[in-house]
Amino acid sequence: MRAEVETQVEEIRKSLKLLRKHLDYDNAVRRLEELNALSEDPDLWNDPKKAQDLMRERTRLENGIKALEESEQELSDNIELIEMGEMEDDQDTITEAEEALKVLQERAAKEEIETLLSGEADSNNCFMEINSGAGGTEACDWANIMLRMYSRWADQHGYKVEFIEETPGEEAGIKSVTIKVSGHNAYGWLKSESGVHRLVRISPFDSSARRHTSFSSVWVYPEVDDNIEIEVEEKDLRIDTYRASGAGGQHINKTDSAVRITHIPTGIVVQCQNDRSQHKNRAAAYKMLRARLYEAELQRREAESQAEHDAKTDIGWGHQIRSYVLQPYQMIKDLRTNVETSNSSAVLDGDLDMFMAASLAHRIKGSEDEG
């Protein structure tokens, strides 16, 4: 095999070895056999919650084992095809097998990243808040660009985006927005985006064409399902209603349909104006509050398990995580991992996987080093 292909094969083997390790293959196979036997019990669905948890675990293990075994077999088959092609001087067979290895390498690398999404809430849907910083219209426009960037990323990954609350800027852009991103591992991928994002560019709102620096903050927290107990007492809540400020027709602006809930002990504030019904907005805001409280608990646990500087680096709300320089040169750089690219247009169109993957790996490595 050519040296380039040999390197490719080694990279695939490395990824598959890591996948096998994370899956704990031997124990996973034994556990799947146990779950298959349990699923045949006619009394299983007497306890629906237990049955659903069992079937969910079974599906996860079944998919993981199948994906690993198929990839290992595919690697072996294509190596064999290349060797046969070289023996018979069949260049078409060699080329076809090498192309298949490229596809396998990309898939194995993606599956390797997925193994990093093993946190308690990583598989959940999530909420994302984007808030413009100081800078007036320029900052509001930057927040709007970020909303578009994350919406594009979600579309590319087959995730659904739902608007929960939006406060428009006075001249352009948005002051703040809250969206819900739904899909498997949505929180696991997006959690690394929490922090401050800095933009440097020539402002389209400056008649003198001067460079401006703008900031927007992102906060991502997981949707909490009914299986997770979050205690919220009514006496700790202050609930306000107000008229929605976004688009939505005449009705939505004439009634106090929007709801704001303040959790007094923590100072956490959530609001929803997505629906014309005050009751529905209240239910959605309450769900967001439970999610925020759960995220606070996850952060507390992580802070306890890491050194203080690690916690500040990975979690801090005020920490600047990424710089987007569009003038005088093109460079987007993640300040936590030093991953950078000059292809700014692709990133602003949603090509964020390289940053997310590096941040996830950095986060896992930091946790392992601390342990």
Ordered per-residue pLDDT tens for the chain, 371 residues:
889 999 999 999 998 998 898 888 999 999 999 999 999 998 998 988 889 889 978 987 898 899 899 999 999 999 999 999 999 999 999 999 999 999 999 888 877 777 777 677 888 899 999 999 877 889 999 999 999 999 999 999 999 999 998 999 888 899 999 999 998 889 999 999 999 999 999 988 877 878 888 899 999 988 886 556 677 888 888 998 887 765 443 344 446 788 999 999 888 899 888 778 888 888 888 888 888 888 887 777 666 544 433 433 333 335 789 999 998 899 999 999 999 999 999 999 999 999 998 888 776 655 445 44
Q: How many CA atoms lie within 13 A of 178 on its CB side?
A: 20
Which amino acid is it at 152? R
CA-wise closest residue to 191 among 87, 120, 140: 120
Q: CA-to-CA distance for 104 and 122, rounded, in angstroms?
A: 25
In this structure, what token pair is assigned to residue 234?
Answer: 């009514």
Q: CA-to-CA distance for 314 and 293, rounded, in angstroms?
A: 18
Q: CA-to-CA distance for 120 and 276, rounded, in angstroms?
A: 34
Q: CA-to-CA distance for 36 and 343, rounded, in angstroms?
A: 48
Output b/e per residue, 112-148; b: 16+ Cβ within 10 A.
bbbbbbebebbbbbbbbbbbbbebbbbbbbbbbbbbe
Strands (DSSP E) contained in the chain are: 126-132, 160-168, 174-182, 195-202, 211-222, 237-242, 258-263, 268-272, 320-325, 331-334, 340-341
Q: CA-to-CA distance for 249 and 6, rounded, in angstroms?
A: 62
CB-count exposure of residue 335 (10 Å: 0-12, 13-18, 19+): middle
In this structure, what token pair is assigned to residue 172?
Answer: 């352009």
Report the 10 Å Cβ neighbour count for 34. 12
What are the CA-CA distances from residue 332 to residues 49, 192, 341, 344, 351 (Å)? 46, 16, 5, 6, 12
Structural domains in the chain plus CATH codes:
3-114 (1.20.58.410), 121-371 (3.30.70.1660)
Q: What pairing do the DSSP bridges indicate for beta strands 237-242 and 211-222? A: unpaired
Helix axes 25-39, 48-87, angle to 10 degrees: 130
Helix axes 3-23, 91-114, angle to 10 degrees: 30
Q: How far does CA 226 lie from the centroid of its chain?
A: 21
What's phi and psi for 161, nearest 5 deg? -115, 130
Sheet holding 237-242, edge to edge: 237-242, 258-263, 268-272
Q: CA-to-CA distance for 141 and 198, rounded, in angstroms?
A: 13
What is the per-residue pLDDT for 317? 39
Q: CA-to-CA distance for 38 and 177, rounded, in angstroms?
A: 46
Read off the pTM: 0.68
CA-wise closest residue to 274 among 150, 167, 143, 144: 167
Which amino acid is it at 63? N
Contacts of 291 (CB under 8 A, 6+ apart): 126, 127, 221, 222, 223, 224
